Amino acid sequence: MFSKTILASSLIAAVSAHQNFHQFWVNDETPGYQVGIRMPPSNSPVTDVTSEDIACNVNGQTGVADTVAASEGDTIKVQWDQSGHPGPITHMLFGPVDSAKAATGVGSWFKIDELDYVDGKWANEIMGAANMTHEFKLPTGLPSGEYLLRSEMLALHGAQTVGGAQFYIGCAQLKITGTGSDGACGPEIKLPGAYNAEDANIYIPNVYNGFDPTNYTAPGGPVGSCGGSGSTAPVSSKPSSNSTTPATSAAAASSAAVSTSVSIASNVAVSDVAAPTSSAPVASVTAAPGGNTTASALPSLVFPSTFQTSVVAAPSTFQTSVIAAPTNNTAPSAPSSTGSVGTIKKYGQCGGRNYLGATSCESGSTCTVMNDYYSQCV
Ligand SMILES: [Cu+2]
């Protein structure tokens, strides 16, 4: 008998091989579907980490009309397409700038959120149990101004080859009211520049053979802070060597190092946008700080259940409930790039153990065996 979880994962893989970031909420209010977000021309991943596309995806240097208001400390919820691709989700900010619409996103970012592998589940699986949403807070101590918010889902199912990791990226435009002063936030992450194709968290030769994701951390370094002087210091992993005090001060958790200054209660407002639509009744996911839980025995194969089975004969009522689109979406979910029949788009799955879908790739790409469990049109 199939468990609900496994069935859901299987269906997710069948429905959508690639994913985009389509909608976000500020304290449970949303400007709308794809509003304030620079949508890429397709749902294909970026794989060249040296490309400027690694900042805000293809065409991501061009602004969109709407910039959405928020305040430091606000809760941001993002929603992505369903994804069976194992890997983390991270969020970064670019700014402050005078105009988010005019900002390219090529240059210095800082990380404000990260969810990796917690209690045996990758971020995409955790999100899958919450309508593909993930929540985090804007740090306190942010300088007022406009920002780009970068949401990245990194897919590791092809990470056993250099250049095989897939970066799914979407950037939103925010106008943030905060209490910090310029330069308060860091450490900086240059995009492109900070990621290298052979970084240990991007190129994972043993990803299907003994890789332990328990202590995996996403690219870009630890979650930063906007501490400024006299506030919580940015995280340093180096213990103090010339101190006579015990080393307890060096043990700050990387994901908790935001300043302790008081956050301002906010009224969400949306510039240039009609009244926000109501928020969806979506269960929230609480990201476990640090993510370094005490995981049990090392699984030698941690991925297959999330994507290997592309088609499962499930009761039709079950399928419907699993893949139902959020009720407040104003547009239907994008159709999948793979299916049980037809031609597979570039980067889509076209084979692998237990895979029952189509195997012919669109012109310009070839079905290539990545491993026993996954063949991809590349
Ligand atoms: Cu994909």
Per residue in 109-118, pLDDT (tens digit) is 999 999 999 9
Task: Render pLDDT for 132-154 as a digit per residue (tens, 0 to 9).
Answer: 999 999 999 999 999 999 999 99
Q: How far does residue 12's CA lie from ligand 1's centre (Å)?
A: 11
Structural fold of domain 4-235+252-335:
Coagulation Factor XIII; Chain A, domain 1 (2.70.50)
Q: How far does residue 18's CA lie from ligand 1's centre (Å)?
A: 3
Using pLDDT thresholds of 50, 70 and 90, give the confidence band for residue 266. very low
Q: How far does residue 318's CA lie from ligand 1's centre (Å)?
A: 23
Between 240 and 57, the more confident residue is: 57
Q: How far does residue 341's CA lie from ligand 1's centre (Å)?
A: 17
Amino acid at 185: C
Give phi and psi for 53, each to the nearest 5.
-65, -15
258, pLDDT greater than 60: no
Instruction: Tell me how long the chain is.
Output: 378
**What integer best gives the mean pLDDT of the chain?**
74
23, pLDDT greater than 90: yes
Task: Render pLDDT for 330-361 as a digit per residue (tens, 0 to 9).
Answer: 344 433 433 334 577 777 767 776 666 777 87
What is the per-residue pLDDT for 306? 37
What is the per-residue pLDDT for 63? 98
Between 238 and 162, the more confident residue is: 162
Q: How far does residue 85's CA lie from ligand 1's centre (Å)?
A: 7
Q: Where are the domains of the chain?
A: 4-235+252-335, 337-378
What is the per-residue pLDDT for 356? 66
What's the mean pLDDT in 85-96? Answer: 98
Q: How far does residue 19's CA lie from ligand 1's centre (Å)?
A: 6
| Residue pair 95/145 in contact by the 8 Å Cβ criterion | yes
Q: How far does residue 135's CA lie from ligand 1's centre (Å)?
A: 22
Q: How far does residue 87's CA lie from ligand 1's centre (Å)?
A: 12
- Other C-beta atoms lying within 10 Å of the C-beta of residue 43: 25
b/e string for 23-35 if b means 16 or more Cβ within 10 A?
Answer: bbbbbbbbbbbbb
Q: How far does residue 139's CA lie from ligand 1's centre (Å)?
A: 31
Between 11 and 216, the more confident residue is: 216
Between 128 and 279, the more confident residue is: 128
Q: Give, in degrees to the nearest 5, the angle at Cα 3 between 43 and 296.
A: 85
Q: How far does residue 41's CA lie from ligand 1's centre (Å)?
A: 15
Share of the chain above pLDDT 70, in %: 62
Calculate the alpha carbon distances from 182 to 100, 137, 152, 179, 229 in Å.
16, 20, 25, 10, 12
What's the mean pLDDT in 42-55? Answer: 98
Task: Render pLDDT for 193-221 as a digit per residue (tens, 0 to 9).
Answer: 999 999 999 999 999 999 999 999 999 99
What is the per-residue pLDDT for 199? 98
